[in-house]
Structure 1
Amino acid sequence: MTTRPQTADVIVLGAGIIGVSIALHLQERGKSVLLVDRGEPGAETSHGNAGLIERSSVIPYAFPRDLKTLLAYASNRATAVRYRPATLLRMAPWLARYWWHSGAGRLDAAAQAMLPLIEACVTEHARFTEAAGTAPFMRGDGWIDLYRSSAALRDATAAAAALESHGLAYEVLDRDALREREPDLHGDAAAGGVHWRDPVTVSDPGAVTRAYAALFVARGGRLAKGDALALQQDGVSWRLPAGGQTHQAPEVVMALGPWSGDLYTRLGYRFPLAYKRGYHMHYEPASGALPRHPLCEAHAGFMLTAMTGGIRLTTGIELAERDAPSDTRQLDAAERVARQLMPLGRRLEPEPWRGARPCLPDMLPVIGRAQHHEGLWFAFGHAHHGFTLGPVTGRLVADLLTTGTSFITGEPFRPGRF
């Protein structure tokens, strides 16, 4: 006797912050949703980030254009960016496209496309805060960029002033003001900083994602473990075995982050997806010393922030294959700089966590209906802003899937642009 499949309106593949948020928004619009992941919600990239909801990041992370920075990165001794030489050769065409899209006019266009998402990122997270019980994780006092030299601080001050039209709240801190705001910094650790006041930060991004998933389940949503690669199209619907049953739905949303390529290539799609890997490690506070705000060491490209698991150091960019073995040299170099900034105790994990940020060369995610399959939707490639843009991406996908329109146009993110 053949068991009839369990039905849903939509299957969402991936229970990171993007997928969980899409599931919640679809649920709010009356859709029955099955959320599927091979592991626990928020256990991958949504767990390992710096916990920033980056309202102030109105300019995408572009490819550097100045010769001094390029030479520093090319040496492969910079702390902010490291690369595997063999990977760099394979990525050369992708990097060339990234460099091209980072030109002034094209970067401005990317910033304008992303701006509505960035402007709504804090309020879209906030719509779930009370119901999900995540208020204890949220901190509304922004984060601080640190600069080691007076010249770097002057340049950063000018760059912040150039964003005046965006109405961002920030303060330029000289050495004394920075020490007052961050009393546990070593005396001469930095010449000053820029305190961005608009972002919200969280003390446990993985726990926030799990809380959003628990809210989805509490509201009647179904969460099951399964392998997204088992997805099959069956006429006008999609089938997937998960949780010991076969499930069927007319719509499926792929929100698999850095693993999206494993599935979309099997379906015949080609996107220029690459990975900026990163590491984190937690440290025991030394003599009670803690960062009062998340601190970004601007030159070395790492974040230092107090988390529920200890003081988390999150590294910059490693250009390497997604699943290549870990290389601790970047983390070790960042740790040496971090210990110059403030006291850090012992490492709290035997090995660093490693994740991969999925990136497209035009610095925009892929969000929208697939070109060649009925009922297939994509939502991946958020680069450095996955945690920031989870809920607002959920709103955009749910709007487009249910009504075809949203509070912003989805045109810049359409899959067919590649």
Structure 2
Amino acid sequence: MADVIILGAGMVGVSAALHLQARGRDVVMMDRRGAGLETSFGNAGLIERSSIFPYLFPRDPARLVKYALNLLPEAHYHLAALPSVGPWLMRYWRESAPERVAKSVAARRPLIEHSLVEHEALIQQAGAGALIRRTGWIKLFRTQETLAHGVADAEKLRAFDLHIDILDAAGVAAREPFLAPVAGAAHYLDTASVSDPGGLAKAYADLFLSRGGRFVRGDALSLEQEPDGRWSVAGPDGARIAARDAVVALGPWSDQIFRRYGYEMPFGFKRGYHMHYAPGPGATLNHPILDADNGYLLAPMARGVRLTSGAEFATRDAPPTPVQIELCEPIARDLFPLGAALDPAPWKGARPCLPDMLPVLGPAPRHKGLWFDFGHAHHGLTLGPVSGRLLAELMTAETPFTDPAPYRADRF
């Protein structure tokens, strides 16, 4: 018996477990592997306090033609997947219309603005401060034209009380002396970065366990509603574990649960890849660096320098096609002296996305005791703790710190 079963032990699930536990709930967390070993493992490691504006579907016709021909490294799609991903992409395009973006910005702002504060509280409690750098991240531009666009975007964000340094070529070289020359950059100072994203999720999970929480390895698809209304899952010994409430925090696998219970949502995936490299002899990378003109990011990690790709549009479980890593690696080597690859093959994961780039967060409308916490798109690491707080407030009948209506499951 328990009060709550959390399905999924990524950053989102672990954070929800901690917030519910802090409010006196007896929580069991279930995952098929362990904490931070799936989607939470592979990302740029940014707690992105400056990401007020969502990642939008591009609307420039010339770029759309290039995307359609798979000519740009920041995006790639599988032609065979178009029948399944095409309708979602059309919905994503509609939700990226200017008149809808303002609504999305207003909805995501409370989550983004509380994201770093909520992380910092858990980081302190978990003793995980060594994993965090509070030095921001740098968005590089190769030409004066793209720099001008980047500066304009940065200026829009100053209205949200964000701190941004605009750097010329010399300014970039002063902060990152091992980079090849570029036109300039925007240095976003309010963002923190993580040297081991999966390790941070594990540190939070260890905190949960140290406070009496329970973790079981098992199949979330064993979830059933009992005749008395409780929810149960099969434990590792086959015995069922029951609770009044169950939380679906399965990231890109969440649809396997919500569709079973008759909920239809426009749920899509942006797949992504990463590889680690040793830095070249004597070289150091001080900040996460986004090469905005080429659509990849270099991040200093505990394992080495992580090269992360842009978005791949394909079915969730299709075989890996890491062409974006292959395209970006030589470009990245020209920018920063990368040494030998440290991974045998690129890692692949899938970002769970709704077309408005907002999570689904709150109760399942037709099933008492079933709760949703998924669809955080590019920002699962960033939004895990603040989403966990809001969910726990809703589940324990506290006054929520922000209006949860924009994240409801039936908003589409």
TM-score by length of 2: 0.98
1:379 corresponds to which of 373, 383, 407: 373
Where does residue 86 of structure 1 map in the other structure? 80
SS in 2 for 1:406: coil
1:342 corresponds to which of 330, 336, 344: 336
Q: Deviations over 1:224-255 (max 9, x none)?
A: 11101001100210111123232110100000
Where does residue 129 of structure 1 map in the other structure? 123
1:56 corresponds to which of 50, 54, 73: 50
Where does residue 280 of structure 1 map in the other structure? 274
SS in 1 for 2:290: strand
Where does residue 100 of structure 1 map in the other structure? 94
Where does residue 402 of structure 1 map in the other structure? 396
1:269 corresponds to which of 253, 263, 266: 263
Q: In structure 2, how many angstroms separate the alpha carbons of the residues matched to 1:318 and 1:258?
A: 14
1:110 corresponds to which of 78, 85, 104: 104
Where does residue 206 of structure 2 map in the other structure? 214
Shift of 1:175: 0.4
Q: Deviations over 1:367-408 (max 9, x none)?
A: 110011110000110000000000000000000010153000
Alignment of 1:259 onto 2:253:
yes
Q: In structure 2, how many angstroms separate the alpha carbons of the residues matched to 1:387 and 1:238?
A: 27
Q: How does 1:78-227 map to 2 (within 5 A)?
A: 78-186=72-180, 188=181, 190-227=182-219
Q: Aligned pair count?
A: 410
Q: Deviations over 1:39-82 (max 9, x none)?
A: 01100010111100000010010111111221221220210001
Amino acid at match of 1:239: S
SS in 2 for 1:162: helix
Shift of 1:288: 2.4
Where does residue 230 of structure 2 map in the other structure? 237
Q: Deviations over 1:326-374 (max 9, x none)?
A: 1121111111110110110111111110000000112111111001111
Where does residue 4 of structure 1 map in the other structure? none
Q: Which moved more, 1:67-76 or 1:215-224?
A: 67-76
Q: Could you tell me whether the CA contact under 8 Å between 2:158 and 2:164 is conserved in 1? A: no
Runs in 1 of length 4+ with deviation above 6 angstroms?
A: none
Alignment of 1:45 onto 2:39:
yes
Q: Deviations over 1:263-286 (max 9, x none)?
A: 222222211111000000000111
Where does residue 3 of structure 1 map in the other structure? none
TM-score by length of 1: 0.96
Task: Identify unmatched segments of 5+ residues in structure 1.
Answer: 1-6
Q: In structure 2, how many angstroms separate the alpha carbons of the residues matched to 1:86 and 1:215?
A: 44
Q: Could you tell me whether the CA contact under 8 Å between 1:290 and 1:311 is conserved in 2? A: no
Q: Could you tell me whether the CA contact under 8 Å between 1:369 and 1:377 is conserved in 2? A: yes
Q: In structure 2, how many angstroms separate the alpha carbons of the residues matched to 1:59 and 1:243?
A: 42
1:363 corresponds to which of 350, 353, 357: 357
Q: In structure 2, how many angstroms separate the alpha carbons of the residues matched to 1:194 and 1:348?
A: 29
Q: Could you tell me whether the CA contact under 8 Å between 1:300 and 1:316 is conserved in 2? A: no
Q: In structure 1, how many angstroms separate the alpha carbons of the residues matched to 2:91 and 2:322?
A: 28
Q: Could you tell me whether the CA contact under 8 Å between 2:85 and 2:314 is conserved in 1? A: no
Q: In structure 2, how many angstroms separate the alpha carbons of the residues matched to 1:28 and 1:223?
A: 16
Amino acid at match of 2:193: T
Q: Could you tell me whether the CA contact under 8 Å between 1:53 and 1:388 is conserved in 2? A: yes
SS in 1 for 2:18: helix
* RMSD of equivalent CA atoms: 1.0
Amino acid at match of 2:77: Y
Shift of 1:99: 0.9
Q: In structure 2, how many angstroms separate the alpha carbons of the residues matched to 1:37 and 1:94?
A: 28
Q: Could you tell me whether the CA contact under 8 Å between 1:11 and 1:249 is conserved in 2? A: yes
Q: In structure 1, how many angstroms separate the alpha carbons of the residues matched to 2:340 and 2:120?
A: 35
Shift of 1:299: 2.1
Q: Could you tell me whether the CA contact under 8 Å between 2:46 and 2:382 is conserved in 1? A: yes
SS in 2 for 1:92: helix
Shift of 1:292: 0.8
Task: Identify unmatched segments of 5+ residues in structure 2.
Answer: none
Where does residue 326 of structure 1 map in the other structure? 320
Q: In structure 2, how many angstroms separate the alpha carbons of the residues matched to 1:288 and 1:226?
A: 45
SS in 2 for 1:82: strand
Q: In structure 2, how many angstroms separate the alpha carbons of the residues matched to 1:378 and 1:313?
A: 31
Where does residue 65 of structure 2 map in the other structure? 71
Shift of 1:290: 2.3
Q: Deviations over 1:89-143 (max 9, x none)?
A: 4322211111111111201100110000000000000011122111000000100
SS in 1 for 2:205: helix
Q: In structure 1, how many angstroms separate the alpha carbons of the residues matched to 2:255 and 2:306?
A: 29
Shift of 1:88: 2.6
Q: In structure 2, how many angstroms separate the alpha carbons of the residues matched to 1:137 and 1:99?
A: 37
Q: In structure 2, how many angstroms separate the alpha carbons of the residues matched to 1:67 and 1:89?
A: 22
Q: Which moved more, 1:341-350 or 1:61-70?
A: 61-70
SS in 2 for 1:354: strand
SS in 1 for 2:203: helix
Where does residue 243 of structure 2 map in the other structure? 249
